Amino acid sequence: MELGVNLIDTADAYGPETSELLIAEALHPYPAGLVIATKGGLTRPGPGQWVPNGRPDYLKRCVEKSLKRLRLDRIDLYQLHRVDPKVPMEESLGVLKEMQGAGKIRHVGLSEVTPEEIARARKVLPIVSAQNQYNIANRRWEKTLVYCEKEGLGFMPWSPIGGNRGLKRGDALEAVAKAHSASVVQLALTWLLQRSPVMLPIPGTSSIAHLEENVAAAEIKLTPEEWKTIDALAGQG
């Protein structure tokens, strides 16, 4: 918060539950203007296992439990963590619409979705954002980003650095980073921020120094030539 961060993204599956509890422990009572975004609908039955559950009764419990853990009366942005192929999307989103009507959710977002799925969801209720994996080396969801730009929806890339995959030392990315006295990780975030006005990267951090480095990436300004140099590193794959 001291660095100007005003959105924190989490999920009930992170931990599980631990992340939401820690956020409340550290920041509650929340300062004005802080947006807490969380997610539900993706279960953790075991280590390394992620299984969607979009049943309405389950999602309703997810919302109620997240409210309690986060010590909130209303969640500003609640995201369906994954579309459950076993449950019609309309049923999953229908209960979120009910929770929204009850004042327990302000806005609804989706995660790992195609433009077609977003359009389908918008027939049920307003959708404000999509959280899909996206970074320099992984642009599988390019069409979703373009859709969000066209429709004025937020695009929140998870794994925005890609765990350093594709950030090769000694290549053009490192040369541009050196020119800005920055790290290649910072350049990866800078590239995202300059890629689109609807882009909202959500990098993780394991230390204060790492956090400060991530936030400082927003101050770097790439020239058009530098941006194209970085953009060319991984094509559109």
Instruction: Locate the domains of the chain by residue range.
Output: 7-131
Long-range contact set of residues 233-237: C-beta below 8 Å, sequence gap at least 24: 233/136, 233/137, 233/166, 233/168, 233/171, 233/172, 233/173, 234/136, 234/137, 234/138, 234/139, 234/166, 235/139, 236/139, 236/142, 237/138, 237/139, 237/140
CATH superfamily, region 7-131: NADP-dependent oxidoreductase domain (3.20.20.100)
Q: What is the pLDDT of residue 230?
A: 85
- The model's confidence at residue 170, banded by pLDDT at 50, 70 and 90, is low
Q: State how far the alpha carbon of 2 is from the alpha carbons of 5, 33, 187, 211, in Å.
A: 7, 13, 22, 11
How many angstroms separate the CA atoms of 146 and 219, rounded?
24
Helix (H, G, I), strand (E, B) or coil at 63: helix
Q: Which member of 14, 78, 134, 147 is catalytic?
A: 14
pLDDT at site 233: 75
Share of residues in the chain with pLDDT > 70 (%): 95
Helix (H) or strand (E) holding 66: helix 56-70
Residue 234 has pLDDT above 80, yes or no: no
173-220 confidence digits (pLDDT tens): 888 999 999 999 999 999 999 999 999 999 998 899 999 999 999 999
Higher pLDDT, 170 or 85: 85
Q: Is it the case that residue 134 has pLDDT exceeding 50?
A: yes
Rounded Cα gap, residues 21 and 15, in angstroms? 10
Q: Looking at the DSSP assignment, which residues form a beta bridge with residue 79?
A: 39, 109
- Cα–Cα dist 117/27, whole Å: 34
- pLDDT greater than 70 at residue 172: yes
**Confidence tier at 48 by pLDDT (50, 70, 90):** confident
At 168 the pLDDT is 56
- Round to the nearest angstrom and report the end-to-end CA distance of the chain: 35
14 a catalytic residue:
yes
Query: If we measure between CA atoms, which residue out of 232, 236, 148, 159 comes closest to residue 197?
Result: 148
Concatenated DSSP letters of 110-154: EES--HHHHHHHTTTS---EEE-B-BTTB-TTHHHHHHHHHHT-E
pLDDT band at 236 (very low <50, low <70, confident <90, very high): very low
